[in-house]
Chain A
Amino acid sequence: MDIAVRALVLFAFVFLLTRVTGRRELSTLEPFDLVLLIVVGDAIQQGLTQDDYSVTGALIAVGAIASLQVLTSWGSFRFGWLRRVFDGQPIVLVQDGKVLERNLRRERLTVDEVLEQARLQQISSLQDVAWAVFEPSGGISFIPKQ
């Protein structure tokens, strides 16, 4: 029972963490971010199973996390308001080549970062962009002008 409760608490905490730190951190997986992710994963693992090396313990932990993941995704699928809470919503960053500074500030994004993402999608100037949308997944989608 102990591991299942630990899994629930840690799942909720990590879920909260990923939601409140913002999408910016999720979208830019720099080497430092990658190391941080590994460190966080290791810290969580220790708190989850502690000194339990048994197969049963692993089954409980993995089973609990998988069940919680399915439960949250089902909740998102079933209820629109829950989807907005769990997944977030898109934010328009650029419209008709014009950068919406307020929306950038809200997500702690700079114009340079938007430009970088644009270049990755073979867009040389934001003037060529009809819409740039910061997606809930953390990526920026660009829709070029016709």
Chain B
Amino acid sequence: MADVPDGIVLKRHRDLEGRRNDIWVRRALMSLVAVIPVLALFNVFGQRPDTHVLVSPAASLKIYAPSRLRSGLLYEARFHIRARQTLKDAYLKLGPGWAEGQSINTIEPSPVSEASDNGRLSFELGHIPQGKSYILFLQFQVNPTNVALGRLQTVELDDGKTRLLFFKRHLWVFP
């Protein structure tokens, strides 16, 4: 047999004694790495939109927006209001969780007015006749340094001073 090269220990480097489990450690770690994209397929890290439908005798509201995001993402939130009865002066009020750490790039159509309602974003949508729809599109971008672990987001639909619908959810923003 040829001389064993310096630095090579046959038991360890040829027979792999004491290294039998190394391969399994490597496989386990590789599996962990592979789990990340698999979880992503199941929307764990966003940004697939969720749909929530709220109904009251006066109106229905469909909210279509992702609740799991990653920093830097551009995304859309859509609020579809359908008047089951005539709404004389509809207001959509979004909690501060909708604006925290996010740029609101566009609001279409532009509301009649915008104001603060005790810290919430209050959009006056105006008159919505019975049976008609009003769809409000908001385009956002998440601040690249923003991280959120279950930030509260609320949505309220009012007709004048009367609350018609209220909804709350939690937003996750992954770094």
Contact = CB atoms under 8 A, between A and B. Distances in A.
A20 B2 contact: no
A130 B33 CA distance: 38
Nearest to B14: A92
Contact of A130 (B2, B16, B144, B175): B2
Contacts of B5: 131, 133, 143
Contacts of B23: 106
Interface string B1-38: 11011011010111010010001001001100100000
Interface string B28-53: 01100100000000000000000000
Q: How large is the interface on A (under 10, 10 to 19, 20 to 34, 35 or more residues)?
A: 20 to 34
A17 interface: yes
Interface size class, chain B: 20 to 34
A59 interface: no
A123 to B, nearest CB: 14
Contact of A90 (B8, B29, B30, B71): B8
Nearest to A95: B14
A96 B16 contact: no
Interface string B154-175: 0000000000000000000001
A22 B14 contact: no
Nearest to A105: B23
Nearest to A9: B175
B29 A16 contact: yes
B20 to A, nearest CB: 10
Given A6-B175, A92-B10, A103-B14, A21 B30 contact: yes
B8 A106 contact: no
B126 interface: no
Interface string A21-49: 11000000000000000000000000000
A19 B28 CA distance: 12
Contacts of B72: 50-51
Contacts of A115: none
Contacts of A22: 26
Interface of B: 1-2, 4-5, 7-8, 10, 12-14, 16, 19, 23, 26, 29-30, 33, 71-72, 144-145, 175
Q: Lowest 10 CB-CB distances: which A-B pairs, in order?
A: A130-B2, A92-B14, A50-B144, A20-B29, A20-B30, A51-B144, A20-B26, A90-B13, A2-B145, A92-B13
Given A96-B1, A131-B5, 15 more contacts: A16-B29, A19-B26, A20-B29, A20-B33, A52-B144, A89-B12, A89-B13, A90-B7, A90-B8, A95-B14, A100-B14, A106-B23, A130-B2, A133-B5, A133-B8
